[in-house]
Amino acid sequence: MALIECRRLTRSFKKGETLITPLKDLDLDVAAGTFLALMGPSGSGKTTLLNLIAGIDRATSGSLKIDGRELNTMSRSQLAVWRSEYIGYIFQLYNLVPVLTAYENVELPLLLHNYSKKERHAKVSLALEMVGLADRYDHFPRQLSGGQEQRVAIARAIVADPKILVADEPTGDLDAEAAAATMTFLKRLNTEFNKTIIMVTHDPKTAAVAQQTLHLEKGRLETAVTA
C-alpha cells in the first residue's frame, strides 16, 4: 500500500461568479521513502496538491488517504493532531517568528506534544546540530543569513520526526550556494533517514535532486520522470 493515495482528487473554489478548479480528478500514489518533485506553471495546481497532502486545505471531492487514513473525513481538530504527527512543512520564505530565537522557533512544533522540557531540549538540539546551526541557537532570524534561516526552518520541520516533509519552493529565495546546501540536506534526509519528501519547485536543477518529477498542467498530471 502506498503511503499517499489520491483518487479523483479535486479542489474547486469560487472567485466571484467564476468556479476555479486548480486540481481536477487527480490519481497519484506515493510510496514511503519517495523524494517527489512537483513542477508546472503558476496555477497548475502544485501548491494546491501540496496543501491537500499537508492537511492544510480540504478537497472538494475525491479521496486522499495517507497511511490508510482518509483526510477528507477528519474534523479540524483531528487534522491538527494528525498534522503534528505526520507533516513537516518547509516554506519558501521560512515563516520564522521574528521575536523568537532559532532554538525557540524549532521548539514550536514540540509544544503540541506531551514532551518534557528536557525531551524538547534534546530534540531541538539534535535538529539544530543536524542542519549545522548548533552554534546559532540563540540568534534571532534577523541575525541569520537567508540560508541559515532556511536551515532553521528545516530543523523546525524535522524536529518532531514527521513521516512526510512537504516543501514549497524551498530554494526559491536563496542564492545558488545556499540552495545547493539546502538540497543536499533534503537529499540526505531522504536517503539516510528514509523521509518521504514532496517538493514544489520551478527550478529543473532543484527538481533533479528528487527521485521522481511529476509535471502538472491545469490541475492534471502530464508526465512523470524518474531519476
CATH at 28: 3.40.50.300
Task: Please state, in angstroms and rounded to a whole number, the distance separating the CA atoms of residues 172 and 153.
Answer: 14
The tens place of each residue's pLDDT in the chain, 227 residues long, gives 799 999 999 999 888 888 989 999 999 999 999 999 999 988 889 999 999 999 999 999 999 999 999 999 999 999 999 999 999 999 988 999 999 999 999 999 999 899 999 999 999 999 999 999 999 999 999 999 999 999 999 999 999 999 999 999 999 889 999 999 999 999 999 999 999 999 999 999 999 999 999 999 988 887 555 55
**What's the structural domain count of the chain?**
1
Residue type, 76: R
Task: Please state, in angstroms and rounded to a whole number, the distance separating the CA atoms of residues 154 and 227.
Answer: 23
Does the pTM surpass 0.75? The reply is yes
Helix axes 146-158, 117-130, angle to 10 degrees: 130
Range of the domain at 214: 4-226
The DSSP bridge partners found for residue 5 are 29, 65
